[in-house]
Structure 1
Amino acid sequence: MLLAKHTLALTGAGMSTESGLPDYRSEGVGLYARTDRRPIDYQSFISNEKSRQRYWARNFVGWPYFSRVRPNFGHHQLARWFDQNKISFIITQNVDRLHHQAGPGRILELHGNSHFVICLGCGHRISRVELQQRLVDLNPDWKRLLETNTDVAPDGDMELRDDLVNEFQVPSCPKCTSGVLKPDVVFFGENLPPERKIEAASWVDCTDLILCLGSSLQTFSSYRLLLQAHANRIPIVIVNIGPTRADSLASLVLNAKISDTLGMVHSLIS
């Protein structure tokens, strides 16, 4: 980092585990290891009304905890390094918006963020806070569930019984009154917006060091960026608990906690 002019940090779900959000794939402790829960895929959401009802019911119950999560040491350290011109870019796979909460910077949310909702019909965009209030108004008997659940997935999803889900009321778009509302995130099986893909690739082209933090790089949208960096002979450092898809591309791989590693690096370069 001392020699690099433009360092890029690429972060995944492991970046936010110390804030209280689980990751998906960590051995023994990730969501996939502990439960049978899987994120909804794009086709299921857009083609099946029952799938949307289930998604929004679970997201409704998980939102109070998810929205209270705050940045941890790792988020704040990257923000400090940005202020000190030690890193130039942050690309995150996370939808929790914690990098923005930690401080300003050149941050690209590769998969969008869960704090906004978009209408698939007219494109109208509202805050998730606004939608939560509409959901409360439509489902007043559900308020008791909002204060008792903390087992939240990285995208804000919660486990609920089917009989509860079947009673849940989901609103349409408040502007066009008929459009389907979807979180402004890229679901599994959904393509990245072309302009976002182009911007991420352009940032990699401007970089001379990549720090990959807390990602197994199983999604191609992020793995593609490391393939691009490797082809451009850009050094790659990976910090993650467990193996990643790009270990063979990296100059250095550390099986370690992000906070411990960033704290040590901070001491060395300060």
Structure 2
Amino acid sequence: MRKPLMRIPYTDILPSPKIIPASAHSLQGALAALHNFFAAPPPSPLPSSTVVLTGAGLSVASGLADYRGPNGTYRVNKTYRPIYYNEFVQNHEARKRYWARSFLGWTSLQKAKPNAGHYAIRDLGDLGLISAVITQNVDSFHPKAHPHIPSLELHGYLRSTSCTTCRTEYPREDFQHQLARLNPRWADLLQEALASGALDTEDPDEKKFRGLKVNPDGDVDFPDAPYTTFRYPPCPRCLADPPIKAEGFRHTVRVDSDGAWILPSSAGVLKPNVVMFGENISNHVRSAAENAIDSAGRLLVLGTSLATYSAWRLAKRAKDRGMPIAIVNMGGVRGEDQFFVDVNPNQAGELAVRVEVSTDDLLPALVSQLRQKLSSGALPIDAPIRNHERENSSVFKDMLS
């Protein structure tokens, strides 16, 4: 495999955070700080709504791997690197390897469900405290858990594939059936792995004992597996009617006797509908994310180290607008000092919060506490926004997701 042309950022352990306020080291202290965060009106003239930015750490409680957490892939699997966009698009063998590993991991990913943290976000929305969610996650848990809160999937989603030529989308589950048909021995291997429970364990040592490397986003590595034998189907639309190149000639789309994509095909390659490493986020998604930040008065960051620039720049945008920022993450965050450098040390959470508590413990407890305070009138939130009158309800109305 060729040496990658781009460095994966922040694979080493980030510095431990400074807890803000100092009283927020415990769960109760963190709850008190976040109560103040939601209760205090944002600086004028910012609106009262809060936008949430989430990452892989939020889905760990659903049994999914993350990248930089305590048991994250970059810590326990030092040889792992995600596939690069140019590598996927240009290299038939790289696609075989990717789709073989994704074929093995898809069943576990599909079985996984939103966890208490996702449903707590739904409940915060029902209380009128959350206007929109921006997520880096590709597991589709947010739209499942809170369909009434606008969700922008910044890096796409694994629930479908898309053609790199004609951009047509297809359900990922249908694609999985095609992979099984084209690769019967791999299908048998998957069934054996499922029957043995090898894909169900969350224990890193148990995975290692079974010879597995389970990585984020439905990637499962069986060492020494014959990836070169794996086959994948083409885009049906491009196969039926090969598109015309810019030069005026038709692309070539060929298949073997079973219907698998083969060289010298030049079009009809299906990829997961996610933003791969080295691939650009589309302009309309970028604009929608920026608009969500600009339409809110606070930013709540959950379960992410903000290592990817696409997410970090949104937090920086919020900071530049003067928005109070709360970060809940196990472990350090990229450049987090920049978000809190000018925070008054005497503030109690109304302007900034940084806590290191698991989201699946903190968020449900926060919902319970805020419900009690709202019902008793002890939470002086200015004009909560209910689902039917949410001021930001159309912020993502043009998004396909």
TM-score by length of structure 2 reads: 0.65
Partner of 2:137: 94
Q: Please state whether the residue corresponding to 1:75 is helix, strand or coil.
A: helix
Equivalent residues, number: 269
Shift in Å, 1:206 = 0.8
Q: Which structure 1 residue ranges, 5 or more long, are not aligned?
A: none
2:310 to 205, 221, 224: 221
* SS in structure 1 of the partner of residue 159 of structure 2: strand
1:239, 1:256 within 8 Å by CA — same for their partners in 2?
Answer: yes
- SS of the aligned residue for 2:39 comes to coil
Residue in 2 aligned with 1:131?
175
Q: Does 1:52 align with 2:95?
A: yes
Give the Cα separation in 2 of the matches to 1:266 and 1:163: 46
Matching residue of 1:164: 226
Deviates more, 1:152-161 or 1:228-237: 152-161
By how many angstroms is 1:180 displaced? 0.6
Q: Identify the range of structure 1 (145-154 vs 132-141) with the bigger mean alpha-carbon deviation.
A: 145-154
Aligned residue in 1 for 2:57: 14
- Matched residue type, 1:187: M
Task: Report the Cα offset of residue 246 of structure 1.
Answer: 4.1
Residue 203 of structure 1 corresponds to: 292
Correspondence for 1:121 among 123, 140, 165: 165
Question: What is the match of residue 146 of structure 2?
Answer: 103
Q: Distance in 1 between matches of 2:335 and 2:58?
A: 17
- Residues 226, 246 of structure 1: 8 Å contact kept: no
Secondary structure of 2:138's aligned partner:
coil
Distance in 2 (CA, whole Å) between partners of 1:3 and 1:255 is 22
- Alignment match, 1:65: 108
The secondary structure found in structure 1 opposite 2:315 is helix
CA contact (8 A) 2:123 2:367 kept: no
1:263 maps to which residue? 364
Unaligned runs of 5+ in 2: 1-37, 42-47, 200-212, 240-252, 254-267, 341-351, 372-401
Structure 2 Cα separation of the partners of residues 194 and 162 of structure 1: 40
On the 8 A contact 1:65/1:152 being kept in 2, the answer is no
Q: TM-score if structure 1 supplies the norm length?
A: 0.96
Superposition deviation, residue 162 in structure 1: 4.8
Q: Distance in 1 between matches of 2:220 and 2:69?
A: 19
Structure 1 counterpart of 2:229, one-letter code: E
- CA shift, 1:60, in A, is 0.5
Q: Within 2, Cα distance between the matches of 1:25 and 1:96?
A: 17
CA distance in 2, matches of 1:129, 1:46: 21
Which residue in 2 is equivalent to 1:146?
190
For 2:58, the aligned partner's letter is M
Q: Structure 1: how far apart are the matches of 2:225 and 2:323?
A: 52
